Structure formats: structure tokens, C-alpha cells
Amino acid sequence: MIPHPRRGLAVGFTTVLLFGLTVVLQAFLVRDGIAPSAAVGARYLVAGLVCLGIVRLTRRSLVPARGEWQAAVLLGAVVYGLQAILFYAALGHGSVASVSLLFYTYPVLVLMASLALRQVSWSWAAGSSAALSAGGAAAVVGFGRQVSIDREGVAMALGSAACVAVFLLANNRLIPHTPALVSAAWVSFGVALSTLVVAAARGELYLFSTRSWLILVAAGAATGLGTAGMYRTLTALGPPSTSVLLSLQTVVAITGSALLLGEPVLLGQVAGGVGILAAIALAAWGRRASQGSR
């Protein structure tokens, strides 16, 4: 059963809040000096357990649909795991603002790839939505106190954006029949498997402080619920609209940083948030108009 678009938007906004919170929590982990592979692996291990726990409470099968188990684990281990490590590592090579600015170019990448693959037809609504999304994200993070990043950080942030685009486009084709929470669980376990193996090989697994564990558990829970929400949003809205909606994470991350890290929110950042909201509305309108013309 395909969720109603309005319900998909509601789930999408909840997902945005959860992922935005995760970005802020990651900033705390970076400050604590937790290595990328260890932090990502522990976070996604918790995320997978949270998702499986919810599936168990709803008395549904914990196993993916037939033939999709391997795809879910590999998609997490290779694509989503690489995305998470690159984003986390980029935070060590530049400011949160600069990393976010480059990362939130992925809606444009998704749109361009969808057009190239003929999954969507070109429209001024789609093009304008992508432009507003990228411009809004740029305004939100570009008016902070400092925007600086080295070459390695640029490569990592753009690589993370490319991985998200690949994941959003490949997910519906590779795991079309598995329920969202089950998919989220096994993708998360795939991320945890690959990243924890890397962390062990590099000697990055050690006893974390109580504070770090609390942050990891909170980030893992938010990640698990957010990943499940992303799956449902993908089903309801499709990759292009979902990528635009998820770019609103920027606003949540900036607001959370202001409240928890003491970073100021400037007028330009507010203007960028308005641009992202406009992009979401335009994408939703364009989708309905496209369906109505069929």
C-alpha cells in the first residue's frame, strides 16, 4: 500500500527533525575525538537494534522480503556506510557550515540523475525546486561566523552527497517489497558491519566515555527512526521530492547548533530556510500537477 502524499510529507518532516538532531549530536562526538568509523559503526548498530525492536513490538517479520536481504545489507555496508563516514570525517576538515553547504547539493544530483535515467520528466517546477533547495541550503549555512574547509573536506563532503544520491535512486529498485522498518534495520546493520570492521582494523575501537555512549545511543535512536521515516517518504513522494524535503535538515541542524552549541542564527540563515520551504512546496505542487496530467 502506497502512503498518501500528505502522510508522506508528515513523515518526511518528522524524519527531517530526527536527522537534524543527529547532525548536532555528531558535532558533539567530533568534539569528543571519536574516530569516524567507530562513531558511525556504533551509531548504526544502535539504529538497527532500535528498528528491529519496533518491528518486534508490532509483531511483524524481522526478515526482509525474499531475495532482498543481501541487497539491504550491501546497500548499507557500501553506499550508506561510505556516505556516513565521509560526512563525519569531513567535519574534521572544515566548519559545520561549509560541510553542510557542499553536502546539501545532493537534491540537485538526484534530480539530474533522475532526468538522465528518465525516471522523471523535466519541468520548470522540478528545476526551480532543486535550485531553491540548493540556494536555500547555501544561504542557511553560508551566513555563519565562519565558512572554511580544506581540499580533503571538499572531496569528502561532495562524495557524501553523491552517495546519498545513489542511495535514494537505488533503494526503491533493490528493496521494493520489504517493509520500511525492516529495511531500515538491515541497512543499518550493513553500515555497522562495514564501519566497525574498518574501525577494528585501524585500532579505533576503545572504551568510550559515559557521555559519548549516551550521545551515541541518542544519535542511534534518532538515526534508526529517521531512516525508517526516510523509507516511507521515498515510497510516498519518490526520490526527487524526498531529497528536496530532507534538505530541510539544514535548518534543524543550524537551530540545534544555536541552542546546544551556542552558534548564532542570522537573518540570512532564516532567509535560506524560507527558500528550502518554498522548494518543498514547489516540488509537491509539481508532483501533483504531473500526476494530474497523466
3-state helix, strand, coil in the chain (%, to 5): 80, 0, 20
The model's pTM is 0.78
Per-residue pLDDT at 83? 94
Average pLDDT of each block of 10 consecutive residues along the chain (294 residues)? Answer: 67 89 88 90 94 87 87 92 92 79 80 77 78 80 68 90 88 83 89 93 83 92 86 77 77 81 72 78 67 56
- pLDDT at position 156: 94
- At residue 2, the pLDDT reads 45
Phi, psi for 94 (deg, rounded to 5): -170, 175
Give me the pLDDT at residue 126, please.
75
CA distance from start to end of the chain: 21
Residue in the block written with cell 558491519:
193
User: Which grid cell is 78?
Assistant: 557500501
Find out whether 12 and 228 touch, Cβ atoms under 8 Å. Answer: no
Q: What is residue 293's three-state secondary structure?
A: coil
Rounded to whole angstroms, what are the CA distances from 150 to 37, 87, 91, 131, 157?
21, 14, 11, 25, 11
pLDDT of residue 1: 44
Contacts of 264 (CB under 8 A, 6+ apart): 144, 145, 258
pLDDT of the residue at 289: 62
Cell of 223: 538515526
Between vectors from CA 167 to CA 30 and to CA 83, what angle results, nearest 5°?
20
